[in-house]
Amino acid sequence: MLFIYLFFLSFFVCLNGWWWWWWVACLFFFLFLFSFTC
């Protein structure tokens, strides 16, 4: 449950990012989470 909360929270933060490096950091973050959970 905590992981799901952190996932949606980080996704919401990523949607509010306006800089390209913010999106790149979020992309690597989600790839890390995906590889860590699978």
Q: Where are the domains of the chain?
A: 11-37
Note the maximum CA span of the chain. 30
pLDDT digits (tens, 9 = 90+) for 19-35: 777 778 878 888 887 88
| Residue 38 CB coordination number (10 Å) | 5
pTM, to two decimals:
0.46
What pLDDT is attached to residue 38?
Answer: 66
